[in-house]
Structure 1
Amino acid sequence: MEIRTVLHMFDPMPHVSPFDINMAVDAGFDAIFPYPNVTLEQVHGLVQDAIFSRGPSGVKRTGLFIGGRDLGLALSMLEAARKAMVPPFEISVLADPSGGFTTAAALVACVEKQLAEKHGLTLEGQHAIVFGGTGPVGIATGVIASLAGADVTLVDPFNIDTALEKAKEYNARCGSRLKGTYASSDADKARLIAHADLVFCTAKAGIQVLNADVLGDATQLKVAGDVNAVPPLGIEGIKAKHCGEPLQHAVHAPGAVGIGALAVGDVKYKLQNALLRYLLSSEKPVFLDFREAFQRARELV
């Protein structure tokens, strides 16, 4: 009898995300087991329970998904899982807390593609602003763009200390060069966007971050991407399905184009599905985070 495929889903939150469970089902796993309220200290023992019970052939048909909302904790849990492996008893692991890694990878890859197609440029040296930059998707977006060569500033809506702390934490953890600031008013946003080449909007759903008046202050903006699919959308003038359409309100940056949430979401869905499937298809155990996600996203766009 063929050994069934199994996905164990660890989450430090009270509930494992239904979105991620649905994605695992669509990726073709036979059996899916969610584990809520998992602590970092518990990861080692749970992983070894999973690997020793199936044998060398069974571990190749076993995967682990790490969720939650804290990117740093997810990366620490991924590393703890890696250290718990005892060759040849090793399973593949994907960390994607709050969809942060796959959504961010899809967003940056989409922006990078439009930047190349519409302006003939790479991310290297581009001034990028991440609104909603202290949330999971915002931090991951900033890290990915920074490691690809962009000059990135994370923007918190209220508190500069929060932005500076997140930038410092993830620079130390990931090797990025993030900056931090805040923008609590349209005047703050206009000041930032006036010198931005790229804008990533990763704020909470249903909140308009950039209105037409603020966009009117952009002078060198080239590409803006928004992951908010819940009205009102995050950037006025960008529709959910936009993928390279002119950004109409950026009147002083006539070459600027926008990317909407559904265009990003299409890549994100394909990306997460591909990474989940890769847990079972790889001949050797793999440990996947934002780095592999961005590499795959570049291929998908």
Structure 2
Amino acid sequence: MTKPKILLQFDSDTHASVFDAVVAIDAGVDQLLQYGGIELTQVRDLTHGAMFTRGPQDLHQTAIFIGGSNVTRGEELLAAVKDCFFGPMRVSVLLDANGANTTAAAAVIAAARHLNLAETTATVLAATGPVGQRVARLLAGQGASVKLASRSVDRAADVCETIRKKLPQANLAALQTSNSSEVQSAIAGSQLVIAAGAAGVELMSHENLNAANSLKVAIDLNAVPPVGIAGIDAGDKAADRAGVICYGAFGVGGTKMKIHRAAIQQLFTANSLVLDAEEIFSLGQQLQ
């Protein structure tokens, strides 16, 4: 008899995400066990409970999803979960805290529909945020030259160093974008710009967009007015705006949701999967 698919939802927020719970159910999970406000000290006992209640032959029917709005804490939770595994005693685990991995994957996949990323120079605005860091990492992994833009050039440089530890060959540059002139300099010579800033913060003006002569694709991941790139509508999906192919947050969101559901379904194909940014991006590419 086939065991039911059980998903444990580890969430660093006080209340486990309803959004992530609905997606899990829509992805075919039979039983969802939610844990909000989870602390690192609680991870071992919860994970062991998932590992030791089924035999190795049935562990692929149990999995862990790590969410919450704090991506750094999500990464810590992932490391703590992985530390619990040994030999065949393990379950598959997916990290998508704050939707950072699935959103970044969807954005890069959208860009790749129109550009050869290995021959692309890209600017990532708000590149030090959780989504921006993953966008930059995925672009660099595809061979793009990536300019990481932030209000703090020191923070951007720190992110560059973090990415280089994973991708020593990455072609990265840290830039400061604290005013319109610096934004214009940051996007000069780029064929791609992706804005990954906080909700309701404009990162790039109409004037910046209109003056970007080399720009071919612009993607804005903020849906809350004012949007991150002025002139892009949240619903844009490959919309041509003055010769620039534009995507808004909702235009990318459909792909993000497909990836999110597929990633949860993938968890139950084996008991040894760890789905982080690169694995989620690869899965998204297979859905195209």
Q: Same fold (TM over 0.5)?
A: yes
Aligned to 1:66, the other structure's residue is in SS state strand
3-state SS in 1 of match to 2:32: strand
The residue aligned with 1:187 is 181
Residue 163 of structure 1, aligned match among 117, 136, 156: 156
3-state SS of 1:60 partner? helix
Partner of 1:68: 68
State the match for 1:98 in structure 2.
Answer: 98
Equivalences for 1:59-208 in 2 at 5 Å?
59-71=59-71, 73-115=73-115, 122-156=116-150, 158-173=151-166, 175=168, 176-208=170-202
Q: Is the 8 A contact 2:92 2:270 kept in 1?
A: no
Unaligned runs of 5+ in 1: 116-121, 249-253
SS at the partner of 2:118? Answer: coil
- Counting matched residue pairs gives 287
Amino acid at match of 2:177: A
Q: Does 1:272 align with 2:260?
A: yes
| From 203, 208, 212, the counterpart of 2:206 | 212
1:143–1:178 Cα contact (<8 Å) kept: no
Question: Which residue in the other structure is 2:247 paired with?
Answer: 259
Counterpart check, 1:245 vs 2:233: no
Question: Which whole-Å deviations, capped at 9, do the CAs of 1:61-120 have from their partners, x for residues lacking one?
Answer: 1110112345455445434433422343321111112111110000000011122xxxxx
User: Is the partner of 1:295 in helix, strand or coil?
Assistant: helix
How far residue 275 of structure 1 moved from its aligned partner, in angstroms, is: 0.5
Residues 277 and 39 (structure 1), Cα distance of their counterparts in 2 relative to 1, 3 Å cut: same
TM-score (norm 1): 0.86
Q: Which amino acid aligns with 1:294?
A: F
Superposed displacement of residue 173, structure 1: 4.5
Mapped to 1, the partners of 2:71 and 2:163 lie a distance apart of 9
Could you tell me the TM-score, scaled by structure 2's length?
0.90
- 1:187-210 per-residue CA deviation (whole Å, 9 max, x = no partner) reads 111111222111001111222322
Q: Over aligned residues, Cα RMSD in angstroms?
A: 2.2
Identity %: 33
Shift of 1:57: 4.3
- Which deviates more from structure 2 when the two are superposed, residues 288-297 or residues 32-41? 32-41
Structure 1: distance between partners of 2:260 and 2:156? 28
Alpha carbons 1:202, 1:227 under 8 Å: kept: yes
Q: Is 2:191–2:214's contact at 8 Å kept on the other side of the alignment? A: yes
Partner of 2:281: helix, strand, or coil? helix
Q: Which runs of 5+ in 2 are unaligned?
A: none
Aligned residues of 2:120 and 2:191 also touching (Cα < 8 A) = yes
Quick check: 1:97–1:136 contact (8 Å CA) kept in 2?
no
Distance 1:292 1:39, change over 3 A: same
Question: For 1:23-60, what per-residue CA distance to the aligned partner results, in whole angstroms no more than 9, with x for missing partners?
Answer: 11211212222223334454344322211022334422
Q: Helix, strand or coil: the match of 2:261?
A: helix
Confirm or deny: 8 A CA contact 1:137 1:202 kept in the other structure. Answer: yes
Residue in 2 aligned with 1:27?
A: 27
Tell whether the 8 Å contact from 2:202 to 2:228 is kept in structure 1 after alignment.
Answer: yes
